[in-house]
Amino acid sequence: MKEVLDVHALRMILEKSLSYLQPFFRQSEIENFIFDFSRDKSSIQRLISWMIIIGIIPDAPEKFVSQLLSICLNYYSFLVDYQLLNRKKSPLLKLDGKNSNLISGDTKRTIFWYSQNKNNISSKINEIDNEIREKYLNVNHKNKEKKSEEQKNEEQKNEEQKNEEQKNKEQKNKEQKNKEQKNKEQKNKEQKNDEPKNKLVMNQIDDNEETLFRINRIFTILILSDNDYEYSQGEERFAYASFLLASQFATIFSLPKLFVESLTFSLTKKFVELSMIGDLVAGGEKSIDNFARLDAKIAHYFPKVAEELHKYGNASQHFAMRWEMLLFADEHEIMSLFLIWDHIIFHSYSNKEGLKESGSDIEINNKSDDSENESHHKSDSENSSENSHEDILKPNPIKQVIDFINKRKIIECFVLSHVGQVAQNMNIFGGGKLVKKLQQYKDWNAEMIVEDAELIFENYSLDIKDKSKEKTQSEPQGIVGTIISTVLGLLK
């Protein structure tokens, strides 16, 4: 069975949904949303905010529909080009054995993480999302002409008739369902002894199987479409979390699963870039420098922790590597994780106004030199719709280096805030058990972690601003060399 993309229907739904979403495009609304430290926040507003900050969609509401259509169409073209529309065949068959086995094992294991977190989406958040939908639905229609009393009576009569028919239909369905349920229960009893004791009970097994198929298809396309991309264990968390958020959005506005999959593809690529998971797994100079900086920061903020680590021959890499690779996905349930990701995303991408201020102390010479750097790693939205918002998402080497610096800073700040919370809540000193306690601690207060990380980031930013005026002894020439020396100087 092959999936078909109904572009006309998708456009109509997106155009209708835009009337509810327009207020969320304002910069002030995005910042207010991000800096609300509550866990229970609208998934609709979160997805819009993330996509605007990251650059998947422009901050202009009038371009919202065309850009999302472009993203979905481009993703669909991948499915056509790589012959992945057949739902009966595993997309992983298109990959070599090594990648296929690795991804299959990870995605099957993490589907249980996805299922558990899907159930952790609080009823309060669903209420918030539905209230938003109703609110903007009413705003959109409040200026329409009032219906005549006669029309209302006629509609009410029709509605009552429909309700009666619906009741009869529901009664028949209920009887049928009861019959099916009894048969199912009998079947389950017969199979009970054959099931593993630790098997997770799920209400929507078919839905999870479909999700697994789509996640596998996303990673298949990532590998086939990008020669530089290599899958690393743990990246499936980014895909499942993104799929969960996009599904919440799609459910509210009755959007198809293919739309959810295309957004998940774009978000997953961005999260892989954010985590720098490949560099950390590969080791080498980047990884060594990263943990050397972390060790120095821990020594500055938590000297007793640093002393205890050093005493038993341990360092930040023994507990922080997993945190940084997965952007803390293993440490928190989904709503706390999304709250942390709000701030990582916000600080990792400089906006147009912030760019001028943040980049004022960084000199970039020989702008024509090494233009290859400007086009490297273009975002999905650039590739899919360069003409639609070229001015907003055009690659800018100054912006790229600022984003890189801020990304490393905010992730380091979250590592420090996690360390600080463990240090406050546990007797962590003595016996050489500090690393184990840092690895196993799960009683996190996410709101406090975010507040602490923001405080550290604010002080850290001031520190960096002063250092940005210092010059290294031997700066490489050209734009790439200048950027590299600047980054290394700022991150010391």
pLDDT the model gives residue 336: 95
Q: Do 224 and 370 share a domain, yes or no? A: no
Q: Is the predicted pLDDT of residue 169 greater than 90, yes or no?
A: no
Q: Do 241 and 287 share a domain, yes or no? A: no
Residue whose C-alpha is closest to residue 55's, from 285, 349, 282: 349
Q: Do 269 and 304 share a domain, yes or no? A: no
Q: Do 284 and 308 share a domain, yes or no? A: yes
Per-residue tokens: 264: 């998940």
Main-chain dihedrals φ then ψ at residue 308, nearest 5 degrees: -65, -40
Number of residues that make up the chain: 492
Q: Do 226 and 293 share a domain, yes or no? A: no
Residue 406: inside a domain:
yes
Query: Using 50, 70 and 90 to split pLDDT, how confident is the model at 488?
Result: very low
**Mean pLDDT value across the chain:** 78
Long-range interactions of 285-294: CB distance < 8 A, separation 24+: 287/317, 289/491, 290/324, 290/408, 291/315, 291/316, 291/317, 291/320, 291/321, 293/412, 293/491, 293/492, 294/320, 294/412, 294/415
Residue 414: inside a domain:
yes
Residue 86: inside a domain:
yes
Higher local confidence (pLDDT), 197 or 185? 185
Q: Do 291 and 254 share a domain, yes or no? A: no
Decide if 99 contacts 231 (C-beta within 8 A): yes
Decide if 225 contacts 378 (C-beta within 8 A): no
Residue 186: inside a domain:
no
| 252, 275, 298 - which closes a domain | 275
Q: Is the predicted pLDDT of residue 199 greater than 50, yes or no?
A: no
In which domain, by residue range, is 374 found?
Answer: 277-490
Higher local confidence (pLDDT), 29 or 187? 29
Residue 112: inside a domain:
yes
Q: Do 423 and 303 share a domain, yes or no? A: yes
Q: Name the maximum alpha-carbon separation found in the chain.
A: 85
pLDDT the model gives residue 350: 65
Per-residue tokens: 73: 């169409």
Higher local confidence (pLDDT), 245 or 128? 245
pLDDT the model gives residue 164: 77
C-alpha distance from residue 394 to each of 350, 379, 391, 403 (Å): 13, 10, 6, 14
pLDDT the model gives residue 62: 93
Residue 262: inside a domain:
yes
Q: Do 352 and 223 share a domain, yes or no? A: no
pLDDT in tens, 331-389: 999 999 999 999 999 999 865 443 333 333 333 333 334 444 444 444 444 444 444 44
100-104, 291-295, 426-430, 487-491: least confidently modelled range: 487-491
pLDDT the model gives residue 172: 76
Number of domains, the chain: 2
22: burial class by Cβ within 10 Å (0-12, 13-18, 19+)? middle
Query: Which residues fall within 8 angstroms of residue 414, CB to CB, at 6 or more apart?
Result: 323, 328, 340, 343, 344, 449, 453
Q: Do 39 and 79 share a domain, yes or no? A: yes
Residue 369: inside a domain:
yes
| 275, 293, 320 - which closes a domain | 275
Q: Do 301 and 365 share a domain, yes or no? A: yes
Q: Is the predicted pLDDT of residue 475 greater than 50, yes or no?
A: no
186-200, 233-247, 284-298, 350-364: least confidently modelled range: 350-364
Distance CA 444, CA 422 (A): 8
Q: Which of 130-144, 319-333, 449-463, 468-482 has the highest mean pLDDT?
A: 319-333
Strand partners, 86: 2
Residue 162: inside a domain:
no
Residue whose C-alpha is closest to residue 33's, from 47, 22, 20: 47
Q: Helices then strands (H, E): number in the chain? A: 23, 0
Q: Is 417 helix (H, G, I), strand (E, B) or coil?
A: helix
C-alpha distance from residue 474 to each of 368, 397, 464, 471, 482 (Å): 21, 21, 20, 8, 10
Q: Do 214 and 245 share a domain, yes or no? A: yes
pLDDT the model gives residue 149: 55
pLDDT the model gives residue 193: 44
Q: Do 236 and 344 share a domain, yes or no? A: no
Q: Is 205 helix (H, G, I), strand (E, B) or coil?
A: helix
pLDDT the model gives residue 188: 60
Higher local confidence (pLDDT), 179 or 143? 179
pLDDT the model gives residue 426: 65
Which amino acid is present at 171? Answer: Q
| 275, 307, 326 - which closes a domain | 275
pLDDT in tens, 221-262: 999 999 999 999 999 999 999 999 999 999 888 899 999 999
Distance CA 288, CA 185 (A): 56
